Chain A
Amino acid sequence: MAASKGLGSLLLRLLLLSVLAGGSYLLLLYACLDRNPASNNYNAAQIDKQELLAKTPTPRLIVIGGSNLAFGLDSQRLEQALGVHVVNLGHQASLGLRYMMGSVRRLAKPGDWVLLVPEYEHLGQDIFYGGSAVIDLAGYTGNLALLRYNGPVGLLAANTAIRYYQQPFTYYPPYTRDSFNRYGDNIAHLGLPPSRIASYTISPAVNPAPIRAIKAFSNECSRRGIRLLISYPATMRSFYESNRTIIAKLSGNLQNTGVTMLDSNPESFVFDDRYFFDTVYHLTAEGRALRTERLTRLLQQRPELLQTDEHRKVGAP
């Protein structure tokens, strides 16, 4: 009896401490939020992308993922080749897979196709929950409910008020809101010289949560008449070589979701290092053209993937 009383008192104190410290942290975070909806910050482009999706008529090929897609897809070319509207929601990995699927869930309609291109870190690490980008977005839109995508992990992954305190208030292309075209592609880097790229090794951790979330998202898409497809991100050859084992693990998990994969081999989207702009995921103009061509070919080789009644109505191939 005395033991449970002592434990109860300790747990109560711990709860109070957590509420106090957690509350102070959230207050600090809130005080440091940038609330300017017209901000030219790269992350504010998500507002424009959501508007673009809302006003593009169905059927659409909605592409979701991180900056790998933002920098590495020519949506106009893809649209011309496939004869279907393409909306590139690919933007920033730290929005997290949870937000990416959640935001498209709201706006996708029956007859749409959703092409999910997660970056490998989304499948293995806590970045699945997103991080600072969602917090930025919550500030610009004033919609604090967006923070639900972060969850406790993402809120901590945002790396705190210090990060906000450090943020510069001037932004440079291609990391600006106005770097995107009317399809949602980042085009500001196309004429810029590539910079030195720091490759890295991915953490060997494998997070089961993204796989569960993708399965749930896939079931919901099936129920609502939306076709979900998955493809691999474009990566630098040297990055792929030094992460081959963990990429094999993550790609195996992705295939186990049962969602249609455009290609079963991640190597299909591995490109020579010279095709990368400033990170292992950001393609240059030439790399972007190669990736778009490869993606187009894969989609054209399997026309059944893009054949639905709604699609035939608009006369697309």
Chain B
Amino acid sequence: MTFSSPYFWLFLISTLALHHLTPERWRWLLLLGASYLFYWWQAPYLPLVLAAITAISYLCGIGMLNTDSGFRRGSLFWGGVSSCILLLALLKYGSAGLLPGTSALQTMVTIGVSYYTFQALSYLIDIRLGLLPPEQHLGYYALSLAFFPKLLQGPIERGNDLLPQLRTGKPFDYLAVRSGLLLVAWGLFQKVVIADRLGMYVDTVYNNLHAYQGLPLLVATYGYAGQIYFDFAGYTSMAIGSARLFGINLTANFNQPYLATSIADFWRRWHISFSRWILDYIFKPLQLGWRDWGATGTALALLITFVVSGLWHGASWNFVIWGMLHGIYMACSVWYRPWQKKLHNWLGVSKKPLLKLWQIGITFQLVCLAWVFFRANSLDDALYVLQHLWPLQTEPLQGLLMIKGDRELYITTLLLGGLMTTVLFPSLKHGIHTLFTGRWRWAAYYLLVLIILVCGIFHQGAFLYGRF
């Protein structure tokens, strides 16, 4: 049951109705039950994994609260953290067939595991650092990990953000529910109309690379940049919208990442909850440890942080190189930054509006270069793409367009063009927003739903980030 499945919509609406009919003090129980049911639907054994991570982190957290012994607190902390990491590594790499003696795990699906494990880890670390008191109510804590809108792909919530919201009951708020439903519809539009349509081109090229060179490879790589953004941002919109129906605000995960003017800026705008997590829990401790090394220590900490981020996505050289590339970009920027302003002044471009456009363009190209490794089916495939991008031959591209039909291309181009126009002209975006809140809003809802039904591609199913 993915977010783009009609069964999910039925599940969501039924849970919403039951939630508002249930007395406030029992709503957490309803949401917890619904979340476990939703997870069971993905695979029957998954709720057991979720329950295990919940039990380990909850008991270690409570144990740390109830002891004055520093040694015991430390043991509980490290015991909890290492148990969660071991369980995650066992499932993630065992199911991918990368650990010896784990053939039984290879038939397992591990969707969602890394997201709530990261949340459990941040909970334990925050308690250890004194940033968060342990949650004593097992039900609220279990719900904070299991809450179904963010269970499969995040956002990775912090205890401080989510737990207080679960404790306070929310009366029915028509406007919040309406905006939540609109976000769900908007996310669905991004996923099934834009991302999956782009995916048709990307998959055709990337799954049969040796038949293409030049322009088709370039178009497919840019297409993938669009596909992964709209797929993941679509999911996040649906997650935030679904949570808002229950009066819960989740962390925003995207902020127009392809308009970033540097790689550091990109990571402030892309998968924000994950970037915050790796920066707070991996980069900062490393940087602190190596602070005596100055810029070299910071660069090294960034490099290691992003390699770990690559490994989190999967134990393959493709992801390691993807992470390493971002680490190298960030490390280089540590040394380049002090010179950047001087260089701009020397070139006389520091106040030119084109500078920002240039920076956005360069950042986008660097991100796309890394996406090649992220998307390619193997390291050899990624190297093939890079070696055959030039010269920009167009003949196979015409063949590709023939495969998919010209009308499909027109629809995709039209939709992407429309979306880019709203980014360039904020007044247009405001106009569209007014359309969905003004007098004729129900006609706008009807059109949006009909466009999704008519132009959507519903057989692609899974969201790209679900596998991480």
Residues of A within 8 A of B (CB): 2-4, 6-7, 10-11, 13-14, 17-18, 20-22, 24-25, 28, 125-127, 131, 152-153, 156-157, 159-162, 165-166, 196-201, 203-206, 208, 242, 244-245, 248-249, 252-253
Contacts and interface: CB of A to CB of B under 8 A. Distances in A.
Nearest to B207: A200
A234 to B, nearest CB: 19
B458 A156 contact: yes
B20 A156 contact: no
Contacts of B462: 125, 203-205
A160 B43 contact: no
Contacts of A205: 2, 109, 461-462, 466
Nearest to B103: A248
Contact of B407 (A14, A127, A166, A200): A166
B89 interface: no
A13 B174 contact: no
A156 B6 contact: yes
Nearest to B5: A153
Contacts of B445: 17
Nearest to A152: B6
Given A156-B453, A166-B407, A249-B109, A199 B171 contact: no
B468 to A, nearest CB: 10
B64 interface: no
B172 A208 contact: no
A245 B110 CA distance: 13
B435 interface: no
A127 B203 CA distance: 18
Contact of B458 (A4, A159, A196, A197): A159
A160 B453 CA distance: 7
**List of 8 A-B pairs having minimum Cβ-Cβ separation, nearest first:** A252-B107, A3-B172, A198-B208, A156-B458, A200-B207, A21-B449, A205-B462, A152-B6
Given A6-B172, A156-B453, A206 B5 contact: no
Interface in B245-299: none
Contacts of A127: 459
B211 interface: yes
B97 interface: yes
Contact of A198 (B16, B96, B204): B204
Contacts, number: 126
User: Max chain A CB contacts within 10 Å: which of B107, B174, B181?
Assistant: B107
Contacts of B177: 7, 10
User: Max chain A CB contacts within 10 Å: which of B41, B43, B458?
Assistant: B458
B451 to A, nearest CB: 10
Contacts of B455: 160, 162
16 contacts: A3-B20, A4-B21, A7-B20, A13-B442, A17-B446, A21-B446, A24-B450, A126-B458, A159-B456, A160-B453, A198-B208, A205-B462, A208-B41, A245-B96, A249-B106, A249-B109
B422 to A, nearest CB: 23
A159 B459 contact: yes
B392 interface: no
Contact of A208 (B44, B181, B405, B411): B44
Given A21-B453, A162-B411, A204 B6 contact: no
Nearest to A26: B453
Contacts of B459: 125-127, 131, 157, 159
B319 to A, nearest CB: 15
The DSSP consensus for interface residues of chain A is helix
Nearest to A28: B454
Given A208-B41, A248-B107, A159 B457 contact: yes
A4 B449 CA distance: 25
Given A4-B21, A17-B449, A201-B207, 12 more contacts: A17-B442, A126-B461, A127-B459, A153-B5, A161-B454, A162-B411, A162-B455, A203-B462, A205-B462, A205-B466, A252-B107, A253-B107
A196 B208 CA distance: 9
Q: Categorize the interface residue count of chain B.
A: 35 or more
A126 B446 contact: no
Contacts of B204: 198
B377 interface: yes
B208 A199 contact: yes
Contacts of B178: 10
Nearest to A256: B107
B108 interface: yes
A125 B5 CA distance: 11
Nearest to B97: A245
Contacts of A208: 41, 43-44
Interface string B421-465: 000000000000000000000100110011001111111111000
A20 B174 CA distance: 22
A127 B446 CA distance: 27
A84 B154 CA distance: 55
A235 to B, nearest CB: 14
A203 B458 CA distance: 13
B467 A204 contact: yes
A165 B16 CA distance: 38
A121 to B, nearest CB: 9
User: Max chain B CB contacts within 10 Å: which of A13, A14, A28, A204?
Assistant: A204
A245 B461 CA distance: 18
Contacts of A156: 6, 453, 456, 458
Contacts of A242: 377-378
Interface in B67-126: 95-97, 106-109
B172 A4 contact: yes
Interface in B1-59: 2, 5-7, 13, 16-17, 20-21, 41, 43-44
Given A7-B20, A17-B445, A253-B107, A201 B377 contact: yes
Contact of B460 (A3, A6, A166, A203): A203
A25 B454 CA distance: 7
Nearest to B407: A166
Contacts of B411: 162
A7 B5 CA distance: 23
A157 B453 contact: no
B220 to A, nearest CB: 12
A174 B239 CA distance: 45
A131 to B, nearest CB: 6
Contact of A196 (B97, B109, B211): B211
B421 to A, nearest CB: 22
A43 to B, nearest CB: 16
